Structures are given as C-alpha cells and as structure tokens.
Amino acid sequence: MRWARFPVDRLHAHRRRYPVSLKRFSISRVNPVRSRLSQTSLGALRCRRKFLKLFPAGFQDQKYLAWERNYKWQAHQSWQEALAAPRFRQLLREKKFIEAAAQAVRIESRTNLLFSFEKMALRDAVRGKAGAELFAVGLYEFLHGRGSSEKKFEKWCQAVGSLPRRQTRVLTWPLVTVFAFIAQPDQHIFLKPKATQVAAAEYEFNFDYSSRPSFETYESLLQFAETVRRDLKDLRPRDFIDLQSFIWVQGSDEYA
C-alpha cells in the first residue's frame, strides 16, 4: 500500500496504534515529483534528462521558446486572425475557396514544419478552384465539423488524398497533421514520422505507426503525447506545441 494515498483520518488512527512503525511514512515526507518519476520508464527518464540538459528551465526556457515554441505559437495566432471558425465559415459560404486555401498555405509557409517539396506540392494542388474547394471544405470539416474524431480524420485524409498532384504526393503525415496543429494546438498534434518513431523508441513507448495516414496511428500519437504530458506534469507543458516539441527534441537529428 502506498501511504501517500492512505486516507488521512485512518492514517492518524493507525499512528496512535502504531506510532513508531508509521512515523517514517508521514505524508509530509512524500515527494510527489520523485514518486511520479519513479513510475516512469528508464527511457522516459533519459528523455527528460536530455530535454532539461538542453533547456534547463524546461518549457519556460528562453532558448526553448526561441528555438521551438514561439514560431509555432505565432503561426497559431496568425491562423486565429485570418481563419478562425467564423471567418473560415464565411469564406466557404461565399465560395472563396481559393482565398481560404491560400490563407492556410501562407500561414504554414512561414514555419519550417513541412519540407519544401511538401509545400510546393500543396501549393500546386490548391492553385485551381477544384483543389482549393476540396482542401478548404475538408479542412473546415476536420476542424469544426460534426461527428467523431475518427470519422473526421478519415474524411480529411480522403480529401487530401484526392487533391490534384503533379509529381510529389500530398497525402503525407506532416501535411495531414500540420494545419490542425497550427489551428488548434490544444487538440491536435503534428507528426514527423522519422523523428517521432525514434523518439517513441527512446521513450520506450509502443507507437503504432503506419506510413499511410490512418486514425489508428494518429490516436497512438495522441496517446504518446498524453503519456509525455503526464510524465512531465511538474514541468507544466501548455499544449501540444510543447509536447510535440519535446518529442521532436528526442528524435530529430538536430538534437542528436
């Protein structure tokens, strides 16, 4: 039995009955952070140490903010100004699909989240009205539509997979996750496949990865992120920007 969870009134009663043997288990002596860390895997502890070695102040570290968080948050703020739900909905009602798609592409282009070939493929895909409509309507429904998370994600993947393509395919994990991540970082996370797989292995998390975008893999990624959130509760990650950044630090060659 873990004394930190023992009911206080019963604990006092037991202390009166067994004053010597229970003295060293005083609730005031329990360190909740140490207790929580002792339950995590060795891999998770190594990842934590690596992150704090790079950014000693954790998610408040000025270097962390400059290198990882600020530009992602700025993209989110730009999205809120240009494509918040009411404005996005108005553009669709007015059939301004090209404008809506162009706004989304423009906001993402100011980040380094997608590779250059993915950016180019997407710009080509939404340049015409048909592709722009498919993209804009599909993205709006994913972000603000009704239905289960699974159904909305699957429909979004179908929409991206149906976009016009020239040479490079557009149905990639980074492309199907980046816009929701920018728009709603409190709900969605961004997936870089190679770095995330490396990070999951380092963390000793069983990440259910499939190269073709699927809800099963996305759900597994969210579970990975929630595990990280729980393990780093004392560092106070704010949203999926912080959690994705932590995962990126573990798996990216930039931080090898």
Residues 207-231 have pLDDT tens digits of 999 999 999 999 999 999 999 999 9
Q: What is the pLDDT of residue 37?
A: 53
pLDDT (0 to 100) of residue 149 = 97
pLDDT of residue 256: 86
The whole-model pTM stands at: 0.84
Could you tell me if 178 and 190 are in contact, meaning their C-beta atoms sit under 8 angstroms apart? Answer: yes
* pLDDT at res. 15: 40
Q: What was the pLDDT predicted at 19? A: 41
Ranges of residues in the chain with a pLDDT under 50 are: 1-30, 32-33, 35, 38
Q: What is the pLDDT of residue 251?
A: 98
Give the pLDDT confidence score for residue 169 in this predicted structure. Answer: 82
Give the pLDDT of residue 36: 53
Query: Is 179:139 a contact under the CB 8 Å cutoff?
Result: yes
Q: pLDDT at position 39, please?
A: 62
Dihedral sign computed on CA atoms, order 193, 195, 201, 204: negative
Beta-carbon contacts of 15 under 8 Å, excluding residues fewer than 6 positions away, are 22, 23
- Using CA atoms, how far residue 74 sits from 26, 37, 58, 189, 248, in Å, is 47, 33, 20, 16, 18
